Amino acid sequence: IQTDKGADPPDKKDMKPSTATNPENGLSGILRLVLQELNLFYSRDVTGVCLLYDLLHSPWLQALLKVYDCLQEFKEKKLTPATTHAQTLSNEVVGILRGTPKSPETRELKQILQAPHFKALLRAHDTVAQKDFEPLLPPLPDNIPDSEEAMRIVCLVKNQQPLGATIKRHEMTGEILVARVIHGGLAERSGLLYAGDKLVEVNGVSVEGLDPEQVIHILAMSRGTIMFKVVPVSAPPVNSQKMVYVRAMTEYWPQEDPAIPCMDAGLSFQKGDILQIVDQNDALWWQARKISDLGTCAGLIPSNHLMKRKQREFWWSQPYQPHTHLKSTISISMEEEDDMKIDEKCVEADEETFESEELSEDKEEFVGNDRKFFIAGFRRSMRLCRRKAHLRQQRAGFCSASCCVSASGAPYEEVVRYQRRPSDKHRLIVLVGPSGVGVNELRRQLIEHNPSHFQSAVPHTTRSKKSFEVDGREYHYVSKETFESLMYSHRMLEYGEYKGRLYGTSVDAAQAVLDEGKICVLDLEPQGIQIARTHDLKPYVIFIKPSNMSYMKQSRKNAKIITDYFVDMKFKDEDLQAMEDLAQKMETQFGQFFDHVIVNDNLQDARAQLLSAVQKAQEEPQWVPAAWVSSDAEPQ
């Protein structure tokens, strides 16, 4: 029997018991059984078995598992030291060794016991064993007056990290108080300093009459151990609040906030960051950590209430608030009618009429090799209608980053981990991106990849049905009244008008796909995301982003876009530039809603990334608004 490396055949004798104490149980015991099983297959030519055998048999893995088992065992035990005087014992052994005949073993043992590191280890062991943790305090003087307040002396060893506490002066008494203790910081970990403690001395210097800045200066100049003398707060605050997770719907930079009590203690965050709120005791300043950085100490962020106030102040301080950002649909407003007319002329001046464009597209919508199927939601009129919305946004300058903080929008959204159960409906997949970036191309490819699994929603229109069309296949053909009632009851994810007809995608159309057990894949204007964000649809939003200009020029050489003027037009440099600008604006304004971002440079890579993101959205736990998770879905 030969492995690749020419290893000897396995021998059951080699397999020693895995743990000294309990060889049959534990991971290494299981490994031993697996090895026995594999041994039976080893002589047969089973692909990969030899490799697996060698892996499981490797001494490093065995050693690792033994360590694991030992740790598991000790985790359950309450360890008690065998002796509290290991140092004395060690010294005695060294004395005895001196009187014994010399041998290599005794020499080695003597060397080990006398090595400084080993001695330090035994000293640490004895300190722990004797529970000798308290610092030695000088005896209290006998003549303390009765009125003397109880003091606590706190020694903290300052290393690279900040102390993790802030101080303030009491408005009435002028005393210096500990204002807050930052979670996870040095002060909090010591368990000796609390918010409300009165500072009396720092390193022997009285703080009476000093400004907080002067005290901070003393602290900043101190090195090594810092000694605080404090009068403890009568009732230390207890943090009984439960840990809350939120998604930041806005960004925050402490460096730019003159109101923050301590800039160094501030936590900066960006839109979409998930934050763990660890302390909400203060009505104005919360303490939080980013979930990407849970190991670090917490930082200060404005509370929900304070952030809303800041947003309102900022909002009203802006000289002019354009109304574009308030629109949640792609509807075309009256003032754009002139533009529309020009556009219509251009379309009509093109080789064919609008009607024949619709016809020419029919073939494209039937795809599949063996079995032909129809993909709804790719009709040119619908896409032209959206392109107009894009153009309108570009002309209106979209919405500048500064004006996008709504005066009323919640700055934080409570989120929970949600894992879709196999019996749950799928999450809606929403693709968002600037016009021409490839949203439709990717959506089409995803659906074609597995049409029985992925499906688009059938849009609604008020135009009349053509002879070759089927109601509910190309469109749901509805009256203007029906369409408008869907619009006004917020049942339209997006809608727009093109050539006097209304086009749009309804919530119910998306829901119908999900009800069939399929994954609904939509292409939405970012304004539509808000309407889609419901418990029923649980949308997972993927932002499709253009790559850099030079790569785009190269990769889009043969690509065609739909414009108002021409049906299939090659990309011009201005189109690519506009796409980049719009992508940036979309990210600034709607980035908080994006669950995933894909840069569409190489189409194949982008498609693979999309497929994997869609699978993860359905199969792996994700942060979703807490309001989406009710009794039908347990948080993970």
Ligand X SMILES: Nc1ncnc2c1ncn2[C@@H]1O[C@H](COP(=O)(O)OP(=O)(O)OP(=O)(O)O)[C@@H](O)[C@H]1O
CB of 440 to ligand X, least distance (A): 3
Spatial contact of 19 and 28, defined as CB atoms under 8 Å apart: yes
Residues in the chain: 636
**206 three-class SS:** strand
Cβ count within 10 A of residue 286: 26
- Helix residue ranges, H only, 116-231: 116-129, 186-190, 212-221
- Tokens for 214, please give them: 């002067």
CA atoms within 13 A on the CB side of 484: 4
> Which residue type sits at 515?
D
For residue 584, the minimal CB distance to ligand X (Å) is: 16
Site for ligand X in 398-457 (CB under 6 A): 433, 435-441
CA gap 201, 213 in Å, rounded:
15
Q: How far is the CB of 469 from ligand X (least distance, A)?
A: 21
- For ligand X, the closer of residues 560 and 572 by Cβ is 560
- The span of 120-128, 259-267, 342-350, 599-607 binding ligand X (CB under 6 A) equals 599-607
Q: How far is the CB of 384 from ligand X (least distance, A)?
A: 9
Q: By three-state DSSP, how is residue 187 classified?
A: helix
Beta bridge partners of 416: 624
| Residue of 94, 306, 603, 633 interacting with ligand X (CB under 6 A) | 603
Instruction: Report the Cα–Cα distance between both ends of the chain, in Å, rounded.
Output: 48
Indicate the residue among 66 and 379 with the shorter CB distance to ligand X. Answer: 379
Token couple for 58 = 């490797």
Q: Which is nearer to ligand X, 242 or 363 (CB)?
A: 363
Q: How far is the CB of 618 from ligand X (least distance, A)?
A: 23
Exposed, middle or buried: residue 599 (CB in 10 Å: 0-12, 13-18, 19+)?
Answer: middle
Nearer to ligand X (CB atom), residue 182 or residue 439? 439
Segment contacting ligand X by CB under 6 A, of 129-137, 162-170, 299-307, 598-606? 598-606
Q: How far is the CB of 593 from ligand X (least distance, A)?
A: 18
Which residue number, 154 or 606, has a Cβ lying nearer to ligand X? 606
Smallest gap, in angstroms, from Cβ of residue 347 to ligand X?
A: 15
Between 455 and 600, whose beta carbon lies closer to ligand X?
600
# residues contacting ligand X (CB under 6 A): 20
Given 456, 600, 609, 622, the residue binding ligand X (CB under 6 A):
600
DSSP string, 346-407: HHHHSSS-HHHHHHHHHHHHEE-SSS-EE--S--HHHHHHHHHHHHHHHHTT---GGGGS-S
**Which of residues 307 and 524 has its CB atom nearest to ligand X in the complex?**
524
Q: Is 466 or 560 the residue whose CB approaches ligand X more closely?
A: 560
- Give me the residue whose beta carbon is nearest to ligand X: 438
CA distance 269 to 287: 13
Query: Which residue carries 């003032």 as its tokens?
Result: 335
Residues 358-397 that bind ligand X (CB under 6 A): 383, 386-387
User: What residues from 524 to 563 belong to the interface with ligand X (CB under 6 A)?
Assistant: 555-556, 559-562
Task: Say how far apart CA 524 and CA 460 lie, in whole Å.
Answer: 14
Q: Which of residues 76-135 bind ligand X (CB under 6 A)?
A: none
What is the smallest separation between the CB atom of 463 and ligand X, expressed in angstroms?
19
Q: Identify residues 187-246 at the interface with ligand X (CB under 6 A).
A: none
- Shortest CA distance to 168 belongs to which of 282, 289, 334, 248? 282
- Shorter beta-carbon distance to ligand X: residue 387 or 538: 387
Whichever of 384 and 416 has its CB closer to ligand X, that residue is 384
How far from 210 is each of 169, 225, 261, 623, CA to CA, in Å?
Answer: 9, 21, 18, 47
In whole angstroms, how close is the CB of 183 to ligand X at the nearest point?
A: 45
Binding site for ligand X (CB under 6 A): 383, 386-387, 433, 435-441, 555-556, 559-562, 600, 603, 606
